Chains A and B, each alone.
Chain A
Amino acid sequence: MTTLTSITLAKALNAGLRKAMEDDPKVVLLGEDIGALGGVFRVTDGLLKDFGEGRVIDTPLAESGIVGTAIGLAMRGYRPVVEIQFDGFVYPAYDQIVCQLAKLHYRSGGRWSLPVVIRIPFGGGIGAVEHHSESPEAQFAHTPGLNVVACSNPVDGYWMIQQAIASDDPVIFLEPKRQYHAAKADISLDESPQSLWASRVVREGSEATLVAYGPTVATCVAAAEEAERQGRSVGVIDLRTLSPLDLDPVLAAARATGHVVVVHEAHVNLGMGSEVAARVMQECFHSLEAPVLRVGGYDTPYPPSRVEESWLPDVDRVLEAIDRSWSW
């Protein structure tokens, strides 16, 4: 069995991109600073050297230009993978993503497929200046024609990026930037553990269920471990795929525990948690012991980084939500 040993998320994504580029010569990367620099998070480190500037394309500094050009490349038969440098910089490309990329398959009567992956380092907690810590996932999950996924760990990073590139539909690929260089893992290269479109039970628990994705998976695991020390069995589900949503494991857990808390960094108002809560309520109403609760970023702009830890959902807020659910 071949394994990558003790590897970070950033390195896992790098390995996944490398594998996808080796497997298919039509895979090309585009973005700002992805060449010689290897990307500001070094996710594309070394790829320019090995694949050349025809496959790893350093672009002018223009997000709409990068995405629009990627769309044209896809029309010519390529499979472009775009790196948006930071979440807050994706908005200049918003029209190209939601009006063009998302709709061209439909508009062309199904004659054109648009296999474009847009990688977005997302979320906060790295002490950055404004526009570098946003969680724009709901904006894209709300758009028909786009798939949205978020990885949370090195194993998923390695497999999901390859699966996203292999998909014939556009994929918004969210990478939790504060996890890039955090926990390490071993990755078996022999077989993908699961489909791109499936959520994953990270941890079983019989008394409450935490639903998370991206950076808050780690927060929820920490909260569940703390809850266990306090005598309560709490499960964690990593959604992984936000659009389409794979809620089957969530619904099963909701029926079993009766207590569900959705945790994400994005603003609570009309965030992914709203959709999960509505769907769980719809499917599991009679099994629930309490309404589905949401923990997320407050409905303010992302704050100055010196106080971001007060803004981001942390273990205490998650535990408090579990308590609130149990005291209903």
Chain B
Amino acid sequence: MTSLDDYLAPMPSEAEMVQLLTPEGERVSHPDYTFAGTDNQILGLYRDMHLVRRLDREATALQRHGELGLWPPLLGQEAAQIGAGRALRTQDFVFPTYREHGVAWCRGVDPLKLLALYRGVDQGTWDPTTTRLAPYTIVIGAQTLHAVGYALGVLHDGAVGTGDSNRDTAVVAHLGDGATSQGDVNEAFVFAASFQTPVVFFCQNNHFAISEPTERQSRIPLYHRAEGFGFPGVRVDGNDVLAVHAVMSAALQRAREGGGPTFVEAYTYRMGAHTTSDDATRYRLSEDVEHWKLKDPLARVEAYVRRRGLAGEEFFESLAAEADALGVKMREGCKALPDPDPAALFDRVFVEQTDELAAQQAAFLQRAGAAR
């Protein structure tokens, strides 16, 4: 019988996770997972991570300059998001949280669309039907159920297990460690397992739900929870882009083939604050931050690339120039984002606008006209 002491023992952590590239930049093998990509693809992943880190840094700076109301930084989570985002196929569908800037990048969302949300000029209006990325969701965990419902639709459409790689579809629900405490997330697990939907729950365990540590959310490693719901869980080094890509590719393929849900816990660390509104030094130790700096997701790929001579200096210089251009685009583009037309606020409450709302809109327009 399990004693109380067993439950209170420290949680196993890094020993159990899938890793394919060490913090020192050494490729290592794993019995179950292999990164199948080429060296060129590794350079591509590095480029993505580099540009997304810049995107994030620029957005954080824009918030500090008062151009954004808020920004949830992804610093430290680049490998998790790019590894997951680049494992997708075009037809796969993604339900993000509010921090999935790297995934949005992979889905071709204009970074200015991300800024628009946090600047307060729209609510995340990239086209979900073409990007196949749902709008960001602020309420914790609510989107995991949408993902399961969408995946149920995929299943009913017969778009799994056909063997047609352009048709078979997987759905990803992004969530954080804190979200695993939410009722909706647990209901999503139950529904996903009951209906064997083609969904992958991708949990970025960045160690904190704002200030609450993961230990306050769970007495066992998060990925162990999946077993209780009846589907596999796997922990991957979330700072290892090759491992995340490999594990997500496998989970997505399993979903597309009709194998049902998988829970992937990307074990990572949020190097920044939860959002620009909080002060992370109040709730965590600087030595932890220093410890995680040594596991930086970009540095290890760079070490690997340089050691193996996969790219010369011109690659890094050209990438730096590309990042600078992205920075300029974001700084200039952000300030040029137009405020929405207030009169249009009445337009998209319903597909079929009600007479009441039309009357309010007419009165608003009349008032606005009189004020001019």
Contacts and interface: CB of A to CB of B under 8 A. Distances in A.
Do chains A and B interact in one complex? Answer: yes
B145 interface: yes
Contact of A73 (B129, B149, B349, B354): B149
Given A60-B194, A62-B187, A100-B139, A69 B128 contact: no
Interface stretch (A33-41, A74-82, A294-302): A74-82
A112 B350 CA distance: 10
A7 B14 CA distance: 65
Contact of A75 (B134, B156, B190): B134
Given A64-B145, A64-B187, A96-B145, A69 B123 contact: no
Contacts of B125: 108-109, 111
Interface string A83-127: 000000000100110011000111111111100000000000000
Contacts of B122: 109
A108 B125 CA distance: 5
B190 A62 contact: yes
A76 B154 contact: yes
A167 B139 CA distance: 27
B152 A69 contact: yes
Interface of A: 28, 54, 57, 59-60, 62, 64-65, 67-78, 80, 92, 95-96, 99-100, 104-113, 144-145, 147, 167-169, 197, 244-245
Given A71-B145, A100-B142, A111 B187 contact: no
Given A64-B187, A96-B142, A100-B142, A72 B148 contact: yes
Interface of B: 122-125, 127-129, 134-135, 137, 139, 142, 144-154, 156-157, 183-184, 187-188, 190-191, 194, 347-352, 354-357
A189 to B, nearest CB: 25
Given A72-B150, A109-B348, 10 more contacts: A28-B156, A60-B194, A69-B146, A71-B146, A73-B150, A99-B139, A99-B142, A168-B351, A169-B350, A244-B357
B187 A73 contact: no
Of B146, B157, B191, the most chain A CB neighbours within 10 A belong to B146
Given A99-B142, A105-B349, A111-B125, A65 B190 contact: yes
B149 A69 contact: yes
Given A60-B190, A105-B350, A105-B351, A65 B152 contact: no
A26 B244 CA distance: 36
Nearest to B149: A72
Contact of B356 (A62, A99, A106, A245): A245
A76 B123 contact: no
B349 A144 contact: yes
Contacts of A109: 122-123, 125, 348
Nearest to B184: A64
Of A70, A78, A108, A112, the most chain B CB neighbours within 10 A belong to A108
Of A104, A106, A109, the most chain B CB neighbours within 10 A belong to A109
A172 to B, nearest CB: 13
